[in-house]
Chain A
Amino acid sequence: MLQEEEDLSLTIAQIVQKLKGSRLYAQLERQAWVSLQKPEIKLETLKEDIKEFFRITGWEKKLHNAVYSELTVFPLPRHPAAPPEHLKEPLVYMRKAQGSWEKRILKSLNSMCTELSIPLARKRPVVEQKELLNKWNEMGTDEPDLSLFRPVYAPKDFLEVLINLRNPNYENGEHLNFKTHLGLIQVPLKVKYISELKEFFVELSLNTGQLGIDDATQVPPELFENEHVRLGQKEPIHSMDSKTEVLAEQDSAAAQQYIRQGSPTALRAELWALILNVSNQPEDLLYYEQLKSNVIQHDLLVDSLIYKDVKLTASNDDYYFVFEDYLYQVLLCFSRDTAVLGHFAYNSASPPKSYIRGKLGMEDYAVFYPPNGVIPFHGFSMYVAPLCFLYHEPSKLYQIFREMYVRFFFRLHSISSHHSGIVSLCLLFETLLQTHLPQLFYHLREIGAQPLRISFKWMVRAFSGYLATDQLLLLWDRILGYNSLEILAVLAAAVFAFRAVNLMEVTSLAAAEAVLADLSTLKVMPLLQIFLFATVT
C-alpha cells in the first residue's frame, strides 16, 4: 500500500515537473490571474473558486488531456534508482544490439558522404534560398540528380539484424522440442496469447458494432452506425440520458475509447487531433514557420535521401502521388526539429552524433545529425502519406505526423523489448502463426519461405501502401485507440490465415510472395474479427 502511494506521488511529481515547463502551464497561470477580476472569485475560497472557474471554462479539460497525454506517452517510472538507460531499454543485450546497428547506419551514411564528397550539411547561398522559397509549394517539380544516392538501409537489412539477435543468458538448446520456436526471431520475449489478445481487444469482438463492418450496405444504419456517429458529434445534442458527445466534450481519454470501434470519415481528423493532443495554437504555426526557414537556409544530405525516398515510394503509389509536395514540406521540416530529440528518452535508439569539420572526437563540437536524430530509411515517407488524406494545412499535418512518430512509428525501426517494439511484433506474429496455423507455418518453412520474410515489410510500414487507404485509416484508428502496435502483428497473421488455402499449394518463396503481393482488396476489420474471435483454437 505504502509502495503504491510512493509510486503515485513519484508519478505525480514527474508529470508536474514536465508540465511546468510547458505552454499550458503559462496559459493556466495567466487565466488564473485574469479570473481574479471576476466577482465570483472570493478571497476566502480562492482555491475552490479558481478550480470551479477552470472547470466551467474548459481549462480543466485541457489540463486533463495534457496529463493523459503524458501518461500515455511516457512509461511509468520504475525503481527510483534505475539509470536513464533503463527507461530507454532495460535489457542490456538489446541495448548493445541497437548500439551496433546505429554504428553501422552512421558508417554507411558517412561513407556515402565521403564517396559523393557532399557535406552532411551546408548553408545555402542566397540565390538558392530565394529559389527554394518560391518553389516551396511545388518541390515535387524539382528533378535533382539522385542516381548516386542510395537509401541508407531498407527494411530487409534491418530484418537480418533482428534475426541474429540472441540473449546470451538463454540456452536455446541444440535439440528441437515442442517448445522450440520455429520462426526467425530467437529471443525469449513475452508476447500475448490469443486469450490475452481477445481480452485486450475486447471492443473488436463479434457482438460489438464496428465501423468497417457494421456500416456496410446490408446493415441498416439504425443498428449501429447512426448511434456511433451521433456519439462522436461536435454539437452537443440534448438527450434524455447523460450520453455525451465525444468531440463536444473534448476529452482525449473518451475519444481514445470511442475510436476503438472506428471513426466516422468526417470526424476522423478531429478525433485524431484530440487523442494526440494536438491543437492549433498560433505558437505551433510559428514553430512550423521557423522549421521552414531552417530548411530554406541550410541544406542537409538527409534531404536528398528524403527526396529519393519520396520519388521511389509515394510518388509511384496510385493514391499518394498527389500529395508529393506535402511530403517534402513535412519531412524536410521534420529532419530539423530538435523537439523530436525528446523522444529518445524512452526510445532504445540514440541520436547519431557528428562533428564539425576538423574537430572529430571533440565533444564540444559534436552535434546531432540530422538535427532530429532520425535517419530516414527506404519507405519512411509512407508514414506521412496516409495522413495527407486527413490534414491539408501543412503545420497541422506536420504536428500530427510528429506526434504519431514519437508515440508509435519510432518503435517500428529500433531494437527494443517493448511490447509494441518491432521485435515483439515479429515474435507475436510468428507465435500466433505457429500456434494456430501450424501446418501452414511448417509448410512455408519447409519450402524456404519463412512467413516473417513476407510480413516484415508490412509491419515496418504499419501497412501503409499495402492496404487501401480507407482500410488503412480504420486500422490506424485502432492503433490510436489501443495505444499499441500489436494489432499490426495480429492483422499480419490474419492475412496469412485468410490466404492459407492458396499458400499451402505454393512451392517456393517467390510463389508465396505472389499470393500475398496484393492486399489492396482486403477488408481489415472482418479479418481481425475472424482471426481473434471466430477461429477455433
Chain B
Amino acid sequence: MSKPKNQCSKTHGAPKVKERDQKVCIRFKCTVLNTLMDVLRHRPGWVEVKDEGEWDFYWCDVSWLRENFDHTYMDEHVRISHFRNHYELTRKNYMVKNLKRFRKQLEREVGKLEAAKCDFFPKTFELPSDYHLFVEEFRKTPGITWIMKPVARSQGKGIFLFRKLKDIMDWRKDVGRSDDQKDDIPVENYVAQRYIENPYLIGGRKFDLRVYVLVMSYIPLRAWLYRDGFVRFSNTRFTLSSIDDHYVHLTNVAVQKTSPDYDPEKGCKWMIQRFRQYLTSKHGPEMVETLFRDMDNIFIKSLQSVQKVIISDKHCFELYGYDILIDQDLKPWLLEVNASPSLAASSQEDYQLKTCLLEDTLHIVDMEARLTGKEKRVGGFDLMWNDGPVSREEEGIDTAGTGNFVANTHLGCNNDRKKQLRQLFCSFHSQKKVTS
C-alpha cells in the first residue's frame, strides 16, 4: 500500500504478501536488460513489477538514484542497490580527495608506517583546481608519462596520455574556447595521474584486474570479497613509444572491442584463478600471497577512507567493481572503483561468472531472511571486513595481534560455491524444522 507523503513522493515496500505455505513473494524492479534480469527472473518467489508498481527490491541506475532517492520513502525491509553518495568512492577526484585526507589522518593518529599502506594510488591531481600543484610536481620529474582521465566518464572515454605540458596546454585552450561559446556547458573535471610505466606484462601485453567487492553497510563497515574475477588484456603489445595508441594502454573491454585487431571469439579475458596459477608457477606461492594481501589492503583502506562520508542507509548495499593494475615489482595499484560494474556478458564463461556473482549477491542481501548474520562465507563471497578484520580461523581465537592472522579472503582460489550454498541452506532448513 502506498502512503503518499506529499504530492511528489512515493512509498515502496508494503508488507510482503505471504502465501499459505510460508513462501514469500518479493517484487523487484530492474532497468538493465542483461545477466541481472535473467538472475532476478529465475529467482524463486521473485516477481517483476513494471513501471509504477511498488517494489521491495530495486536494482537502479545511478541517474534514477540522483533524482528520486531523496523523495522516496522505503519500508524497513526494502533494498536498493546503491548508496546515496557513492560517488565519494567512485568519482576519481572525490576518491583521491578522500584517500589523501584519510592518509593524513592515519599519519597523525597511527604513524607513518600505517599511512604508507595507503600509497596504492599513483600521484593524482584534480584539474583544473589543482593545476599549479600539478605543474610543480610535473616539473620535478620531467620526462615521465601522465594520464588524463575525465572524472565522471567510463568505459575508457576521453582518456589520453601526455608527456609534455604543451599537450595539455592545447587541450586547455580547446576547453576554454568551448566555454566561451556555450556558457551552460560546465568545464569538465579531469584528474591527471602519474602513468605506471612498468606494468606487469604477460605475453608482452598489459592487463588489469577486475575484482568484485560487496558492501552491505558502511557503519559498521561490512564488506565481502568475491573469489572470482577476471584479468582483462590489452589486445596489442605494450610499448611506451606509442602513447597515442589507445588500444595499447587501455584495457577496458569496451575500448578493446573497437580495436581493429579485436576478435570477439578470442576474448581478451582470463579468469583470475588462471592468473593466480600462472603467477604462482612463475614467482612461487609466497610472493603471490603477498600480492593478494596487498590487494586486500587496497579494498579495505579505500572503503575506510569514505566510511565517514558516505551516508550509510540501511536500505542500501552496493556491488563495486575494482580495477587494479599490477606493476613489474608485483605491487598492486588502484585505478578506479566502479559503482555500476558492467553486467553484460562477453562470453559463455563471463556469463557464468556474472550470473553466479549476482545470485550470491542476492543471497547476501537476503530478502528471504534465511541467513543468521554470522556467516563468513556465502557462495563465492567471503566476508572480508566486519567492523574489523575477519580471520580464516574459527572464532574464539583472537589471533589478530599475534601475526598468525590470515585474512578470510580467497581471491583467485577455488570457488566451490554450489556445494557451499547447499550446505548453508540445508542446515537452515533443518534448523527451521527443529524450531517450528
A interface, CB within 8 angstroms of B: 137-138, 140-141, 216-217, 265-266, 268-269, 315-316, 318-319, 321-326, 388-390, 392, 469-470
Contacts and interface: CB of A to CB of B under 8 A. Distances in A.
Contacts of A217: 414, 416
Given A316-B265, A318-B267, A319-B274, A137 B281 contact: no
A216 B416 CA distance: 10
A469 B278 CA distance: 10
B130 interface: no
Given A216-B414, A319-B270, A392 B282 contact: yes
A389 B278 contact: yes
Given A265-B281, A321-B266, 5 more contacts: A217-B416, A266-B285, A268-B281, A316-B263, A470-B274
A484 to B, nearest CB: 24
Contact of B284 (A141, A266, A392): A266
Interface stretch (B28-36, B92-100, B202-210): B202-210
A325 B281 contact: no
B290 to A, nearest CB: 14
A398 to B, nearest CB: 16
Contacts of A319: 270, 274
B301 to A, nearest CB: 29
Contact of A316 (B204, B266, B277, B281): B266
B204 A265 contact: no
Contact of B281 (A140, A141, A266, A315): A266
Nearest to A138: B237
A283 B263 CA distance: 40
Greatest chain A CB density within 10 A among B203, B204, B280 is at: B203
A345 to B, nearest CB: 34
A269 B285 CA distance: 14
A365 B267 CA distance: 48
Greatest chain B CB density within 10 A among A316, A321, A323, A324 is at: A321
B233 interface: yes
Contacts of A268: 281
A263 to B, nearest CB: 10
B270 A137 contact: no
Interface string B235-271: 0110000000000000000000000000101110110
Contacts of A265: 277, 280-281, 285
A344 to B, nearest CB: 33
B349 interface: yes
Nearest to A468: B274
24 contacts: A137-B237, A138-B237, A141-B236, A217-B416, A265-B277, A265-B280, A266-B280, A266-B281, A266-B285, A269-B281, A269-B282, A316-B263, A318-B267, A318-B349, A319-B270, A321-B267, A322-B205, A325-B204, A326-B203, A389-B277, A389-B281, A392-B282, A469-B274, A469-B277
Greatest chain B CB density within 10 A among A140, A216, A469 is at: A140
Interface in B191-212: 202-205
Contacts of B205: 322
A316 B267 CA distance: 8
A449 B257 CA distance: 40
A186 to B, nearest CB: 39
A520 B281 CA distance: 20
Contacts of B266: 315-316, 318, 321
A322 B277 contact: no
Interface SS, A side: helix
A469 B280 CA distance: 14
Contacts of A390: 281
A138 B234 CA distance: 14
A72 to B, nearest CB: 24
A96 B155 CA distance: 62
A322 B281 contact: no
A217 B416 CA distance: 9
A325 B236 contact: no
Nearest to B268: A321
Greatest chain A CB density within 10 A among B233, B263, B274, B349 is at: B274
A389 B282 CA distance: 8
Nearest to B282: A392
Q: Which 6 pairs from chain A and chain B are nearest by CB?
A: A322-B203, A138-B237, A266-B284, A265-B280, A265-B281, A323-B203
Contact of A322 (B233, B347, B349, B416): B233
B274 A324 contact: no
Interface in B276-294: 277-278, 280-282, 284-285
Contacts of B416: 217
B377 to A, nearest CB: 11
Nearest to B238: A138
A515 to B, nearest CB: 17
A314 to B, nearest CB: 11
A269 B281 CA distance: 7
Contacts of B202: 322
Contacts of B277: 265, 389, 469-470
Nearest to A135: B237
Contacts of A321: 266-267
Given A266-B281, A316-B265, A325 B203 contact: yes
Greatest chain A CB density within 10 A among B205, B269, B285 is at: B205
A217 B417 CA distance: 12
B204 A137 contact: yes
Nearest to A315: B266
A280 to B, nearest CB: 16
Contacts of B284: 266
Contacts of A324: 203
Contacts of B233: 322
Contacts of A315: 266
A35 B277 CA distance: 44
Interface string B299-311: 0000000000000
Contacts of A389: 277-278, 281
Contacts of B204: 137-138, 325
A321 B234 CA distance: 12
Contacts of B267: 318, 321
Nearest to B347: A318
Contacts of A318: 266-267, 269-270, 347, 349
Interface in B296-323: none
Contacts of A137: 204, 237
